[in-house]
């Protein structure tokens, strides 16, 4: 985090590009207006920022790396859920927001070196793993095989289509995608798979005992993914998940993101699965 | 030089005058309507002379006698918390110009406050909140400034109310640390004063108090022992509570207490250690300036766990369990201390008389 004085106050950032991904999903490319911050800003894949919309409030959103890997720039892909994200949908290039961050733990990029990497996402869970995927592809020789599995309800919900095509054409990398909707609205244009992402497990040409799994999606999906890959032979400690809870402050003060002893904002959001397995099993914790 | 001094009741005003001359606003428990609460005082006469309180589950009552004591009551209704972590405050503001440019500015307001009469449990409450707001990886500059400009005069307990349970938690009605001065009141006489910091010593030096007599010092010790003996509640050792609560997340007692709990959050508002808050924007109508506020929240509010379209703690059982397990178990993992000081406010101010000590004892049996 950038701050030395007050951890509550955001810094101004400018939208350098607004990309509409879907009717309720959009991506904003950002840079700090203060060049000193632009030079200093650095995040690790899996971390998040608090984005502030003038007059409305702050929301925690995971960081997507800048598409051009430019220093001091970063992206956020956002789905309209509440009033803050609804307001953000109306932003344009040149508009200003506030940024605090980065916060939280990151994906195990160094632990994954020398291993096969399996990235499993559902819905908009793909956004928090873009930066990790890109980091592997930029340091391709340091990692084993890369499998990217992505599940969506129906084909019209696919975002980042060009990126998936590029990844699928990268060395030692394969993308698997599936729609769970039994009546796909694709008019025959959908050339990927159907069903659940875990159905791909038998097809994966990886050494499960020497693989790392990173997964983001709805909690029941992440639990299912973790259990399935552990059953396939991945060591439990090599399965990583990213959890989500309400966050008002992101600095461990507001109490909203607690899960048992954990503050998701600082102890997470990325966890080795065994560290949160028991907590996720208790309803209402 | 001495370790214990004596401040006669007649010289309280001298102490207050010195603190005021040093730039402090003096705050002490005061009687207002039907309660004793912290407020500004100017003179000793503003103290709640002769008042006693009676506290039971869901019950608080004051009475007045002609006893010559200012601290014959047990606890003020609120702790010191609102002076440091305010119930609601603006933490920053942002101005937006006609081009849409945003200028953010932190709002850090503080003043020098001397608190005359802090009970040992409330001192421990401050210590616990210090770990959240000023000994954490990210700290709150407002809280830090207020702590730096605070003068704390502890008031050891000479009486317990029936909801008090600091002793059951392994603490005592004697202030152990975290004060500038600590005093014990001897009725009809004055206070035995103990020094806890250089700041405290500097104040006492200028008051030219006499050393306490051996008799006074012993009477003070005896009075505080009486307050400990008056406490009747018992609990298993805290380490045992911490382990048992998290091992009994499906205990039937959670349903039982949930059937009584109103989920009103009174306990969290009265608690000296609860730190949950929410943040919101208050924008002006012109769209040129917004104040960003921080306001106390409660884990008993249904919105507290609302995330991305889902409410994780959807019923009072989950919310009560969150509150109790946090206070008495997971707080240790988070802040290397317990989350309760045994002041009993959550019991007194519970409208349906839920006694946290009874709930713990049932679950940890």
Q: Whole-model pTM? A: 0.95
pLDDT score at B184: 98
Q: How many Å apart are CA B10 and CA B4, to the nearest integer?
A: 18
Return the CA Rg of chain B: 22
Q: Give percent above pLDDT 70 in chain B.
A: 100
Question: Which residues, given as ranges, of chain B have pLDDT below 70?
Answer: 1
Q: What is the pLDDT along chain A (285 residues), one digit of tens a residue?
A: 566 679 999 999 999 999 999 999 999 999 999 999 999 999 999 999 999 999 999 999 999 999 999 999 999 999 999 999 999 999 999 999 999 999 999 999 999 999 999 999 999 999 999 999 999 999 999 999 999 999 999 988 999 999 999 999 999 999 999 998 866 566 677 889 999 999 999 999 999 999 999 999 999 999 999 999 999 999 999 999 999 999 999 999 999 999 999 999 999 999 999 999 999 999 999
pLDDT score at A181: 81
Q: Give the position of tokens 């700041």.
A: B199
Check if the beta carbon of residue A63 is closer than 8 Å to that of residue A19. Answer: no
Please give the structure tokens belonging to residue B341.
């000081």
> What percent of chain A is helix, strand and coil (3-state, nearest 5)?
30, 30, 40
Gap from A262 CA to chain B (nearest CA, Å): 7
Q: Which of A258, A265, A283 to mutate to test the interface with B (most CBs of B within 10 A)?
A: A258
Question: Helix, strand, or coil here: A92?
Answer: coil
Q: How many Å apart are CA A99 and CA A178, to the nearest integer?
A: 34
Does A10 sit within 8 Å of B294, measured CB to CB?
A: no
Please give the structure tokens belonging to residue B44.
């000793």
Does B106 sit within 8 Å of A9, measured CB to CB?
A: yes
Q: Which of residues 259 through 278 in chain B touch A, CB cutoff 8 A? A: 275-278
Q: What single-letter DSSP state applies at residue A235?
A: -
In this complex, the residue of A10, A96, A246 whose CB is nearest that of residue B100 is A96
Nearest CA in chain A to B106: A9
**DSSP string of A20-72, one letter each residue:** EEETTEEEEEEEESSHHHHHH----TT-EEEEEETTTEEEEEEPEEPTT--TT
Return the CA Rg of chain A: 18
Contacts of A82 in chain B (CB under 8 A): 308
Gap from B130 CA to chain A (nearest CA, Å): 11
Q: What single-letter DSSP state applies at residue A98?
A: E
pLDDT score at A112: 98
B146 touches chain A (CB under 8 A): no
pLDDT score at A183: 60
| Model ipTM value | 0.93
Does B104 sit within 8 Å of A9, measured CB to CB?
A: yes
Please give the structure tokens belonging to residue A262.
């954990």
Return the HEC string of chain B.
CCCEEEEEHHHHHHHHHHHHHCCCEEEEEEEECCEEEEEECCCHHHCCCCEEEEEECCEEEEEECCCCCCCCCCCCCCCCHHHHCCCEEEEEEEEECCCCCEEEEECCCCCCEEEEEECHHHHHHHHHHHHHHCCCCCCCHHHHHHHHCEEEEEECCCCCCCCCCCHHHCCCCCCCCCCCEEEEEECCCEEEEEECCHHHHHHHHHHCCEECCHHHHHHHHHHHHHHHHHCCCCCCCHHHHHHHHHHCCCCHHHHHHHHHCCCCCHHHHHCCCCCCEEEEEEECCCCCEEEEEEEECCCCCHHHHEECCEECCCCHHHHHHHHHHHHHHHHHHHHCCCCCCCCCHHHHCCCCCCCHHHHHHHHCC
């Amino acid at each position: 985090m950038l701050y030395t004085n007050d951890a509550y106050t955001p810094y101004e950032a400018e939208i350098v590009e607004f990309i509409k991904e879907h009717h309720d999903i959009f991506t904003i490319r950002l840079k700090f207006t203060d060049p000193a911050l632009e030079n200093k800003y650095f995040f690790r894949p899996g971390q998040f920022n608090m984005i502030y919309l003038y007059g409305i409030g702050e929301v925690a959103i995971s960081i997507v790396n800048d598409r051009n890997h430019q220093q001091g720039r970063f992206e956020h892909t956002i789905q309209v859920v509440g009033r803050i994200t609804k307001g953000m949908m109306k932003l344009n290039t040149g508009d200003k927001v506030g940024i605090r961050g980065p916060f939280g733990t990151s994906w195990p990029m160094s632990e994954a070196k020398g291993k096969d990497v399996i990235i499993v996402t559902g819905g908009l869970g793909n956004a928090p793993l873009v930066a990790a995927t890109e980091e592997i592809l930029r340091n391709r020789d340091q990692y084993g095989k890369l499998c990217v599995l992505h599940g969506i309800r129906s084909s019209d919900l696919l975002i980042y289509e060009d990126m998936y095509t590029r990844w699928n054409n990268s060395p030692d990398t394969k993308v698997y995608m599936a729609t769970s909707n039994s009546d796909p609205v694709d008019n025959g244009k959908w050339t990927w798979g159907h069903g659940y992402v875990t159905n791909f497990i038998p097809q994966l040409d990886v050494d499960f005992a020497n693989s790392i799994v990173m997964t983001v999606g709805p909690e029941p999906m992440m639990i299912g993914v973790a259990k399935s890959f552990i059953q396939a032979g991945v060591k439990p400690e090599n399965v990583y998940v990213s959890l989500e809870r309400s966050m008002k402050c992101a600095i461990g003060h507001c109490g909203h993101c607690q899960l048992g002893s954990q503050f998701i904002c600082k102890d997470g959001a990325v966890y080795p699965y065994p560290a949160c397995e028991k907590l996720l099993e208790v309803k209402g914790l | 030089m001495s370790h214990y001094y004596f401040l006669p009741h007649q010289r309280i005003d001298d102490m207050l005058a010195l603190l005021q001359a040093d730039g402090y606003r003096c705050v002490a428990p005061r009687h207002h309507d039907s309660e004793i609460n912290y407020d500004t005082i100017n003179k000793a006469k503003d103290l709640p002379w002769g008042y006693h309180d009676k506290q039971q589950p869901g019950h608080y009552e004051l009475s007045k006698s002609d006893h010559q004591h200012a601290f014959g009551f047990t606890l003020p209704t609120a702790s010191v918390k609102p002076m440091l972590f305010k119930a609601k405050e603006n933490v920053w503001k942002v101005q937006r110009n006609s081009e849409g440019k945003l200028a953010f500015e932190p709002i850090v307001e503080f003043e020098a406050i001397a608190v005359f009469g802090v009970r040992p449990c409330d001192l421990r409450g401050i210590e616990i909140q210090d770990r959240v707001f000023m000994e954490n990886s990210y700290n709150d500059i407002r809280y830090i400034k207020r702590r730096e400009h605070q003068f704390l005069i502890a008031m050891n307990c000479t009486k317990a109310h029936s909801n008090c349970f600091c002793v059951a938690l392994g603490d005592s009605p004697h202030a152990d640390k975290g004060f500038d001065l600590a005093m014990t009141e001897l009725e009809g006489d004055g206070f035995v004063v103990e020094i806890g910091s250089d700041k405290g010593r500097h104040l006492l030096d200028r008051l030219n108090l006499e050393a306490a007599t051996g008799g006074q010092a012993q009477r003070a010790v005896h009075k505080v022992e009486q307050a400990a003996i008056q406490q009747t509640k018992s609990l298993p050792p805290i380490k045992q509570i911490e382990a048992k609560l998290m091992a009994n997340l499906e205990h039937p007692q959670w349903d039982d207490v949930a059937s009584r709990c109103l989920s009103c959050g009174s306990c969290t508002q009265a608690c000296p250690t609860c730190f949950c808050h929410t943040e919101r924007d208050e924008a002006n109508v012109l769209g040129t300036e917004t104040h960003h506020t921080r306001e106390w929240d409660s884990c008993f509010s249904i919105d507290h766990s609302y995330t991305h379209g889902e409410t994780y703690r959807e019923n009072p059982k989950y919310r009560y369990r969150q509150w109790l397990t946090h206070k008495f178990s997971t707080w240790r993992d988070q802040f290397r201390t317990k989350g309760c000081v045994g002041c009993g406010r959550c019991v007194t101010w519970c409208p349906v008389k839920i006694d946290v000590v009874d709930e713990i004892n049932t679950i940890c049996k």
